[in-house]
Structure 1
Amino acid sequence: MAHLRFEPTAAPQCFSTAEGLRVRLLQLPAGSQAAALVRVHAGAHDAPAAYPGLAHFLEHLLFLGSAGYPVEDSLMAFVQGCGGQLNASTRERHTDFFFQLSAETFSDGLQRLFDMLARPLLDPAAQLREREVLQAEFLARAQDSETLCDAAHGMALDTAHPFAAFHAGNRASLPVESAAFQQALRAYHQQFYHAGALELLVAAPLEPAALLRLLKAPHCRIEARAQPSRSLPPLHAVARSARLQLANGRPRLEAAFCLDGMPLGSAAALDALASSLQAEAPGSLFALLRDRAWIDRLRLRVPYWHADQGVVVIEFGLTAEGLAARAGIIDALHRWLCFLGQDAVLTHHWGEYRRVRERSLQVMPPLARLRHWVEPEALLAHEQPDTVYQALREVVVRLQSAPAVLTADPRPAPAIEAAGFALRMAAEELPPIAPPSWHWALPAGNPWLCARPLPSPAQNEPALRCVSPQNANGQSALYLHWRFDGESPGGLWHVLDRALRPAIQAAQQAGVELRFEDFGNGWCLSLFGYAAALPVIADDLLKLLSEPPASAYVDGGRQFAEAARLHGEELLIRQLIGRLPRLLGSADAAMSVPLDRSALSAAWARAHWQALAVGLAPELNDALHAVLGNTPGRALREPAEVPQPWYAGRRFWWCLGEPAAETAVLLFCPLPTRDARQEATWRALARAMESGFFRRLRSELQLGYAVFCGFRQFGEHAGIVFAVQSPSATAAQIFAHIEEFLARLSESLDSDTAQVPGDSALDDPRQRAERIWQACLAGQAIDHPAQVAAAMRELRPEALRAALATLRNAQGGWYCLANAAAPDARWQAR
């Protein structure tokens, strides 16, 4: 494979097995990680109407053991033990299963995937337990703003269509004790889980012949049958204005369009439309509405699409001023779509979009490549772009019709009859407003998609460390970290975060992921992706961070106020994870500073910075040395000494928010020390417990839908995280279950046959760069990750037992966040 020239924008090779399984292969260069995705061409809308959620339920059950692999050695346990990625998703007319692993372990993963799809156990006791998991997921989704809005849009349909039905599944809709249900479950599996209804996509350093040999393995065997044909009912909606009561979340305005009889290429065209609609550049729809202080977010989403029909939702996040100006927002959307439909304008946007897609394919990791190419019209867009462009013209025209308009906010509304999710909504006309005069203009193209002369450094910047390329395939990383003398500068991070918001999408279009994180005592700017763009983007961002626009101070102040409380926009446990880095970085509350230019200047004056570049060619490193001369703050000529963690050896409990319908607990157990051997042992311990923790607390104890554990690093703080969100258990009960799991694990690790998992993370360019950067933040050497990987290869089971004892004794400290009070006196309340 070393001779293979990798073409990142090339379409996959297509062929079929003797059983009729359609296969698409993206050949990657040697040293790459490998990924597989199986699409089953059946989903929620194909399940029996008598059993809503059956398709989703089966997706869950397939992970619970198969004829060839018990649950302890199933795909999930295997991939988690190898440090890979996996997941599954049930959509309206398809179900996807996917994973990414090292190339060396790929064949073992693929065999487990096919065995679970073709020969699941479907154990009745496991079904009873897993039904409770779906019930917990149903309760969580019943509080989710997007889920409820989509259910409300279904009420606008004027004909019976599966989009308006309930498909999530819950305890009531899944009578697993019933013989009729069991028959329907197995009939659904028999009807759709076979070679004729499956499609396999692989991205790996493999030749087609080698992949075909692998698919002949006994565990990959799958029966061949014909795919059943299906008909689609018409999809139409009534143009009306309604309001939905939301208990959680910020106010939003949604314009929903039901499209039917659409031309070939329309699904791909919607991706192009979303790119134009969501642009935040000056002169864009978003920028004009934001400048009027009407909205603070805008996106296009497609909650349903199949064949030639679908539902398109354009969602606006409303400010207080925007709630009164909703009619003006809908008017602006209509007029912008009319402007976009002009030939010269649409051609400009189409050309920009094609450059964006070309760039994104340059840097996609293996699994992301598969998720791109699995979409039915991805190959069409690649081979027949004119067809997609003509479909885009039709989509823009069809969206100029009157939409079904939905306002979602906390104002009371009456309960209505709805399938599955409880809705409170009523008809409500938008308050009239005199429409402003809109002045549209072609936006400038994304400057980061074009080459730009690179500056040359007068001298090297000692605060920048550079690590040479290594099988990165044109991907590189740049990290900048500022540490502050004294306390964290309060809400100023939110000011800069708002200033960077337009740049996040522009960077993504240029093939670069941009993150700006608050670590409490410091801030971190991270860029990862298309190598040639990094110096150019960094140059522009550093100027923006030094002099953010005036609007960022206003928007940042609003965001700072909102961040002080938990809200219903996302899962509680995710919000706690977002809070953890800031709390770990500051023993005391962030200092209160005014959000203005002088305060920001003062903050930069007491900031010291360091930087790391991973994978850049020498000429790009030279350009970075020149660019970083504009970095605000003072350069660290030598790596800073990382202070001893303030929480070491102590137990802290931080109660955030009020008790709610669900309880979330996040326990972080930091490493006592960061020498390579101890970190290797803790990483291996986290791998060894990840699958068992998930199985015990989620499947067996049925605590809730959001359950996981793993090794994580937040700034310079590394350790093992345990996270649980439950609709039934209290914080004290959740914590007791975590402690019980650790005690049981201690017994299982006493076996001399306990396996010590390996570590292939350094094979992935992104993970390798992150590991090196984490070492730098913790004051360690550049080669620390390689030392950890070497130490993991030499570990024995007794080392895991010692690490577990250290963790249980809280030698590195325990730090817990929850939306409830501490369960006992062992904890210091914060």
Structure 2
Amino acid sequence: MQSPNDEREYRLLTLDNEMQVLLISDPDTPKAAASLDVHVGSGDNPPDRGGLAHFLEHMLFLGTDKYPDAAEYEEFVTEHGGNRNAFTSFEHTNYFFDINAPYLPEALDRFAQFFIAPRFDAEYVDREKNAVEAEYQMGLKSDPRRGLDVLQEVMNEQHPFSQFAVGSLESLADRPDSSIRDELLRFYDEHYSANVMRLVVLGSESLDELESLVVPMFSEVPNKDFEHEPISAPIFVEGDLPMFLQIKPQATLRQMQVLFPIADYRSEYRAKPLSYLGNLVGHEGEGSLLSQLKSEGLVESLAAGSGLGWRGGALFSVSVTLTEEGVEKHERVLQLLFAYMDMLREQGPKEWLYEEQSRLAELAFRFKEEGNPMGYVQGLAGGMQYYDPVDVLQGAYIMSDYDAAMLRELMADIVPANALVVLEDADVATDRVSEHYAVPYSVERLDARQLADWRGAAAEGALHLPAPNAFIAEDVSLVKIDNDNPAAPERMLEEQRKQIWFMQDEEFRLPRGATYINFRSPLVSQSPRQTALAVLYTALLKDRVNEFTYPALLAGLNFNLYKHAQGISLRISGYNDKQDVLLDKLLSVMASPDFDPQRFENIRKDMIRSLENAVAKRPSSQVLDDLRESLLYGEWGEQPLIDVLQNVSVNDVHDYAQAFWNSASAEALIYGNYARDAVPGLAARLDKVLPDEAAPDLPELKVLKLEAGESVLYPVDVEHDDAVLAWYLQGAGNAWQDRAATSLTAQIMKSGFFQQLRTEQQLGYIVSAFYWSQLDVPGLVMLIQSPVADTAGLASAMDAFLGGVAGSLDDEQFARHQQALVSEVLRPHKNLWERAEFFWQSIAKKQYAFDGRQQLADAIEALDRVQWQQYFERTFLKQRHSLQVAAPGKAAVLPEGGQRRVESAEVLKAGHRFYSIN
């Protein structure tokens, strides 16, 4: 069964080799896509061969008997506008790609060979182990990876989830009695069987054409009748629970997770008991567990739902971000959690609550919108492993079988005696270190006396079931389209302090819409203090309205409030029924904020902690943040913002809010299922928060302008052994031709850059070249995070690669890259939200003709290979506009050459020329 809003055609097949295949015909799709899910993952690794399944995933990309060149698949997909990737989880390995629709047959033929005749060339087996090692090393400072390492160490070692999953040079090393290549072949031959594979193919061809294409290709995949062994071992040894686990994190984390082993409910997808329980425990409205925890100053956020899953069981997870007081009183947090569960058991399952969730799921499926083809096929392929054939398309949305007994059974497992409590904080006491990630931790089995401490009196009457959701859409009718509805948004109102753009949606025709409001002010981003106060103000506002916006979110009515370069943006989107109710409440709070001093203090400290935790981000991400700060005026590093936040009061925020609104003007877009009278309605609402007099001028937006021949080195301090280099090359100017030539250069480079510097030279796991424009100023970034090379070596490798780009490109390859990029630029919007975002960004850039995509595509098509090569050689080789941001890592070596060295982004931008963006 498919959504009434889905016009694609579907066909489900079972091939002679027992592979299940779902074909999707979409004649209008610009991109074809495919995903093959193998019901085999890290849980199937042989003993003492941690990471073997993951390593196998890497190796399948590196050549087959029919297409032996290790670079061939990557090059073909990239040159024809596509992307490819894969992932390995405990039970699944999923391979997927997309490509410009006319090239699906050739791409699919290459893809099919992964599962028919991969080569496992010894040369690449030896090299690719380094990529797995780099991925492992990259995770050594990742707190989620570190926490999982500890969790696996305290599990029952007989349970396959306790195994090391990522892999390393040590776990994948050749051994006297067995080479890793032999074990790869054995694992592939035993596990990669057609009967545990699910394939989804989406293309522009008819179903008959897709069937005639797919069946011969994938019928060749051998069926080895693979069957999983049952997992009989419990995930925790009897008597181990309840357990209290303390972990010392790398970042400034204050987090507690409570895990409960439960039954495997995946076959009960029509009942979805975990959705019912997760919705209640994770609720954020009035009377919720989170509401009470916040009121006592103990936590900042809470999430609940299914965690790890395996054949025969799962973990139900409740995770909270603690305040400083919450760490000290973590037993009070547990008391409230178990008091909430006692309340749920006492109240018993409620069919009306279940029906409410069912109604929301039904609405979501009924008005399901088209998404990214690659993500769509990937999700379907994984779901086919669990859903009955008739439910493949709607399995994730079905919630039709209310089963009170099943819900009571589940709730009976969420008790103190069945709990693993994991507390992560810098000050915890530890006495052990985990094997793979060297994480300090301690573990304690709890007795009846300690369990009694987890039971205490909750605030009387404070915890109760949520009220019926008042935001569920009732009117899902479509408005009549006006005869004079424009082809693009029109400015329907223009006054001193406000402008409103309006357009009815004629293409997607859903009972949904987007109302976006940009409140601009000169009091944003001009100093660290302004930035910190604006971010803190928006965080306090979101917290203040959370209890009434959370039910709206559940009902498909989304809300976001955030600081941007010139002000604060408010976005409301989703079902247009009830949007006015939500907007009225939001604006009334925004205009007259009254913040609780305790909530202010907790949020202020949480923001400081988040900024301090930037050091725990992936090193390559930290370097890109430093690069962005170097280029954008009004961007500030973490420390200046921390310095401000350390010294602000709630009164400072109130004063800032008043000044902000006194200086604010508004620009809005109304797009979707709205009648024209929405414009005066919004104008009247804005009048309640905006002054009458003329708005002050806004400061210009500025981007650093690197001169031809200018070369700058910015060393940054990142606490990680890996070296990272982000080499930014700015375009020669800001015209459409510069944007076209620079983006085309990135398209031409990205496949070869990855193949040569990662696959061949094995410089690191994160290796990429990409187009990176800032406020439409074009730029190219080459990025490598390396555990084996220093930044001087990385710069030399990048430079050598750049020198060979133009010479290796023939006319046919240039034409393929050019067409791939044009197709991507002009790709039709998949849904209403993509269209709304395009309109909104065009308005922000003052591109009121809404033709930016076409102008860029025309500029790309206007370039011939000679013109592009001349631009490339002049701009990216001879007269570079160059900025290297380098984190030297343990090697402590920086790129050499004649670069001007700067010590901070602030120093670089001070007195420098810039592009002014009006």
TM-score with structure 2 setting the length: 0.79
Determine whether 1:690 maps to 2:732.
no
Report deviation, 1:599: 0.4
* Change beyond 3 A, Cα 1:351–1:249: farther
- Alignment match of 2:492 (pick from 457, 460, 465): 460
Aligned equivalents of 2:850 and 2:864: distance in 1?
26
- Alignment match of 1:363 (pick from 366, 369, 379): 369
* Change beyond 3 A, Cα 1:520–1:15: same
Partner of 1:404: 420
Determine whether 1:623 maps to 2:621.
no
Aligned-CA RMSD value: 4.2
Aligned equivalents of 1:718 and 1:478: distance in 2?
30
Report deviation, 1:150: 2.4
Report deviation, 1:321: 0.6
Which amino acid is the alignment partner of residue 537 of structure 2? V
Report deviation, 1:306: 2.2
1:468-505: CA deviation from partner (whole Å, max 9, x where unpaired): 64754747655544554261522122331453364886
Partner of 2:595: 550
Partner of 1:437: 459
- Residue 223 of structure 2 aligns to a residue in which SS? coil
1:65-102: CA deviation from partner (whole Å, max 9, x where unpaired): 33344567644444444554543221112111223445
- Contact 1:709 1:721 (8 Å CA) reproduced: yes
Which amino acid is the alignment partner of residue 595 of structure 2? A
Aligned equivalents of 1:423 and 1:9: distance in 2?
51
**Largest Rg, 1 or 2:** 2
TM-score with structure 1 setting the length: 0.86
- Contact 1:684 1:756 (8 Å CA) reproduced: yes
Which range is displaced more, 406-415 or 54-63? Answer: 406-415
Determine whether 1:256 maps to 2:271.
no
Report deviation, 1:184: 1.8
Aligned equivalents of 2:549 and 2:115: distance in 1?
38
Report deviation, 1:10: 11
Report deviation, 1:286: 1.9
* Change beyond 3 A, Cα 1:243–1:637: closer
Aligned equivalents of 1:795 and 1:528: distance in 2?
39
* Change beyond 3 A, Cα 1:505–1:110: farther
Determine whether 1:244 maps to 2:247.
yes
- Residue 764 of structure 2 aligns to a residue in which SS? coil
- Contact 1:496 1:556 (8 Å CA) reproduced: no
- Alignment match of 1:485 (pick from 517, 522, 525): 522
Report deviation, 1:278: 2.9
- Residue 900 of structure 2 aligns to a residue in which SS? coil
- Alignment match of 1:90 (pick from 83, 88, 95): 88
Q: For structure 1, list consecutive stretches of 5 or more residues without a partner in the other structure.
A: none
- Alignment match of 1:325 (pick from 316, 326, 329): 329
Aligned equivalents of 1:498 and 1:71: distance in 2?
55
Q: For structure 2, list consecutive stretches of 5 or more residues without a partner in the other structure.
A: 483-490, 906-918
- Contact 2:298 2:323 (8 Å CA) reproduced: yes
Aligned equivalents of 1:639 and 1:64: distance in 2?
57
Aligned equivalents of 2:109 and 2:513: distance in 1?
33
Aligned equivalents of 1:505 and 1:11: distance in 2?
36
Aligned equivalents of 1:82 and 1:629: distance in 2?
50
* Change beyond 3 A, Cα 1:406–1:690: same
* Change beyond 3 A, Cα 1:669–1:228: same
Partner of 1:39: 37
Aligned equivalents of 1:141 and 1:485: distance in 2?
41
Partner of 2:137: 139
Aligned equivalents of 1:177 and 1:123: distance in 2?
18
- Contact 1:461 1:629 (8 Å CA) reproduced: no
Report deviation, 1:57: 0.5
* Change beyond 3 A, Cα 1:453–1:9: closer
* Change beyond 3 A, Cα 1:657–1:419: closer
1:604-654: CA deviation from partner (whole Å, max 9, x where unpaired): 43344434456x2452x6526633654566899999996553434366666
Query: Where do residues 464-543 of structure 1 align in structure 2 (5 Å cutoff)?
Result: 464-466=500-502, 469=505, 472=508, 474=510, 479-485=516-522, 487=526, 489-491=530-532, 492-497=534-539, 499-500=541-542, 502=546, 509-511=554-556, 518-525=563-570, 541-543=586-588
Which amino acid is the alignment partner of residue 571 of structure 1? R
- Contact 1:670 1:814 (8 Å CA) reproduced: yes
- Residue 127 of structure 1 aligns to a residue in which SS? helix
1:265-324: CA deviation from partner (whole Å, max 9, x where unpaired): 279433443333333223222222123221222223655312331233322222211111
Aligned equivalents of 1:336 and 1:460: distance in 2?
50
- Contact 1:465 1:612 (8 Å CA) reproduced: yes
Which range is displaced more, 505-514 or 438-447? Answer: 505-514
Determine whether 1:175 maps to 2:233.
no
Which range is displaced more, 50-59 or 588-597? Answer: 588-597
* Change beyond 3 A, Cα 1:693–1:288: farther
Report deviation, 1:386: 1.0
Aligned equivalents of 1:183 and 1:337: distance in 2?
51
- Alignment match of 1:58 (pick from 36, 56, 73): 56
Aligned equivalents of 2:399 and 2:701: distance in 1?
58
Determine whether 1:449 maps to 2:495.
no
Determine whether 1:791 maps to 2:791.
no
Aligned equivalents of 2:620 and 2:812: distance in 1?
36
* Change beyond 3 A, Cα 1:389–1:182: farther
Aligned equivalents of 2:740 and 2:130: distance in 1?
36
Partner of 1:120: 118
Which range is displaced more, 133-142 or 361-370? Answer: 361-370
Aligned equivalents of 2:608 and 2:219: distance in 1?
54
Aligned equivalents of 2:552 and 2:629: distance in 1?
25
Aligned equivalents of 1:574 and 1:303: distance in 2?
26
Determine whether 1:760 maps to 2:823.
yes
Determine whether 1:826 maps to 2:900.
yes
Which amino acid is the alignment partner of residue 466 of structure 2? P
* Change beyond 3 A, Cα 1:206–1:797: same
Aligned equivalents of 2:74 and 2:353: distance in 1?
42
Query: Where do residues 769-788 of structure 1 align in structure 2 (5 Å cutoff)?
Result: 769-780=836-847, 781-788=849-856
Aligned equivalents of 1:344 and 1:406: distance in 2?
28
Partner of 1:800: 868
